[in-house]
Amino acid sequence: MPDQIRCAWCSNDTLYQDYHDLEWGKEMHVDQALFELLSLEGFQSGLSWITILRKRIHFRTQFENFDYTKLAHWSEEKQNEATLNPNIIRNRLKIQSVKTNAIAFMKIQEKFGSFDRYIWEFVDFNPILNHFHSLKDLPVSTEISENMSKSLKKHGFRFVGPTICYAFMQASGMYIDHTLDCFCHPKNKHE
């Protein structure tokens, strides 16, 4: 959809546009997809999202398609191997957090029945529709993302600060933060 008006953060890069148009802000309820997204958001910390998108296929290959049941048992050797992969972000702490978070993820599944049920409770199981006019109106975190961050950390997660949690919530459709002029904002779907 090349002639559409999009959120200002979305560049002319086709990969970015496809992500914006087809993924960002769409409700996500599959545990494996939620784990992948939370992991990638952690890797994105301090970097641009387009960098992560360009490497996503390599992340999936390196991290066994983000199968948390496998990643929870990753050996030190596997983690070291990942630090040598030039096609991903090779930050050792971020790589180690994938195993740590996989273990915590499965504990949440056991306690709540699914990660989806646990995580969507932060927004009462309904997306929050915002009406921001421009990119500068969007916050970097909210009280809800701060609460999510505290809860995830309490459950043993790493690389889940309030800003990462807010980005995760936007991407997974918990917050619908397309700006009002964007063709993806729900108010523009019926015009």
DSSP code for 4: S
- pLDDT-derived band at 3, boundaries 50, 70, 90: confident
**Residue 36 annotated as catalytic:** no
Give pLDDT tens digits for 48-79: 999 999 999 999 999 999 999 999 999 999 99
**Per the residue annotation, which of 19, 24, 74, 120 is the catalytic one?**
19
**Residue 19 annotated as catalytic:** yes
Give pLDDT tens digits for 28-42: 999 999 999 999 999
**Per the residue annotation, which of 24, 41, 166, 175 is the catalytic one?**
41
**Per the residue annotation, which of 9, 23, 49, 64 is the catalytic one?**
49
- pLDDT-derived band at 163, boundaries 50, 70, 90: very high
**What per-residue confidence (pLDDT) applies to 189?**
79
**Residue 41 annotated as catalytic:** yes
**Cβ partners under 8 Å of residue 157, min gap 6:** 38, 97, 100, 101, 104, 105
Percent of the chain residues topping a pLDDT of 70:
98
Which domains are assigned to the chain? 25-188 (1.10.340.30)
Amino acid at 78: K
The mean pLDDT value of the chain amounts to 96
- pLDDT-derived band at 1, boundaries 50, 70, 90: low
